[in-house]
Amino acid sequence: MSESPFSRVVWIVLDSVGIGAMPDAAEYGDEGSDTLGNIARVRPLHLPHLVSLGLANIKPLANLEPASEPQACYGRCALASPGKDTTTGHWEMVGIHLEKPFPVYPHGFPAEIIEEFERRIGRFTLGNRPASGTEIIKELGEEHLRTGSPIVYTSADSVFQIAAHEEVIPLWELYRMCEIAREILRGPHEVGRVIARPFVGLPGSFTRTANRKDYAVPPPRGMLLDQLDDRDVMVFAVGKVFDVYLGRGIRDYEKARTNEEGMEKTLAALDLVKSGLIFANLVDFDQLYGHRNDVEGYARALEAVDRWLPSLLEKLKEKDLLIVTADHGCDPTTASTDHSREYVPLLVYGRRARKGVCLGLRPTLSDIGQTVAEIYGLRLAHGESFLGQIV
């Protein structure tokens, strides 16, 4: 094998930044969803650096002029797996295709699940319905303080979330509740993640803390991060990447509560990690703005990433490759507050990479993982590498 043109990959996931409905979007209730396109249409975006890389060359975006000479290679990816959630998107990136989607609970969890959970934790529960985390804490937090009953809720994602005040249910107990829920939620009810959602404060001013903890389904063996670890390739994770993969194959990581923290810690990682993979997720688009239909907040978050981009590009070395993509959509302009079944953008930049190459429509997010695999002399079960198109 000839020497790889790249020794370090910086992989940024803009969580939920979709770029247009997939052909089967109507089956998910997402016909007409277009996270980037619809935001650009209703609220003009100022994204000069992303546009210079080729963002507006992927497809027409209102008020954004395509670059005449894009600095990156550009395209978009479809989700080959059924579903539209965090776990599905991130798993597919590393070569895992699902045959059926993770279960979701638009009407709350079945009585037998809740009854078994309550029996094993020795407490009754509140909630048990889809909800915004901040809203359900505001609504049920006072009753939780009075009764000591944890708040159980879900979302459009495949999640079982447990909210509790840290002075009512200590963290060790909340985490144990999550472990119990994870044990119960198997078979047909195997949700993608069980999530601890601790909060503090008084009624009217509850705030969630940084002590969130995710309990994900273990990814099948043989995914990209396993193979990189077997090859002794350094993987450094930023944000919720560590939790999504249960830390598998990840040598070091930094949690990040916000996009700002994620961006800062990604830059810091570039000083620490000299070769290997830096894998970051910027979560605010999804958790703060998409699910709350906050178009302005989403737009401002996109513009903040664009302002940060030059500082990232300045730190890239000769043998670095930057990949910018997303895991699904979450269009804040539609009536739904759910994730949306969308294509995701793909921008690939490096000093040794070609410029302005259209990578077209990729049939799966696994094409990204397969490309990273090829860089390190590996091979995944799914996906077609585009390394040969960019060098």
pLDDT at 264: 98
Backbone dihedral region for residue 201 (phi beyond 0: left; psi -120 to 50: alpha; all else: beta): left
Which amino acid is it at 278?
Answer: I
Backbone dihedral region for residue 121 (phi beyond 0: left; psi -120 to 50: alpha; all else: beta): alpha
Residue 53, judged by CB atoms within 10 A of its CB (0-12, 13-18, 19+), counts as: buried
pLDDT at 156: 78
Backbone dihedral region for residue 316 (phi beyond 0: left; psi -120 to 50: alpha; all else: beta): beta
Quick check: 377 and 4 in contact, CB under 8 A?
yes
Among the listed residues 235, 174, 253, the one whose alpha carbon sits nearest the alpha carbon of residue 208: 174
Residue 142 tokens, joined: 């006072």
> What CATH number should be reported for the domain whose range is 8-101+219-390?
3.40.720.10
**Angstrom distance (rounded) from CA 343 to CA 39:** 15
Can you list the residues of the chain whose pLDDT is less than 50?
Answer: 1
Quick check: 318 and 349 in contact, CB under 8 A?
no
Quick check: 77 and 324 in contact, CB under 8 A?
no
**Angstrom distance (rounded) from CA 20 to CA 342:** 5
Q: 231 forms bridges with which residues in the sheet?
A: none
Among the listed residues 311, 317, 287, the one whose alpha carbon sits nearest the alpha carbon of residue 156: 287
Question: Do 8-101+219-390 and 111-216 come out as alike in CATH topology?
Answer: no
Q: Tokens 């696994």: give the residue.
A: 366
C-beta atoms surrounding 36 within 10 Å? 31
In eight-state DSSP terms, residue 110 is -
pLDDT at 1: 47
Half-sphere exposure of 383 (CA within 13 A, CB side): 31
| Domain 111-216 architecture | 2-Layer Sandwich (3.30)
Domain boundaries along the sequence of the chain: 8-101+219-390, 111-216
**Angstrom distance (rounded) from CA 219 to CA 245:** 6
Among the listed residues 15, 13, 35, 14, the one whose alpha carbon sits nearest the alpha carbon of residue 25: 35
Residue 297 tokens, joined: 């907040």
Quick check: 255 and 210 in contact, CB under 8 A?
yes
**Angstrom distance (rounded) from CA 331 to CA 173:** 36
Numbers of helices and strands, H then E, in the chain: 14, 14
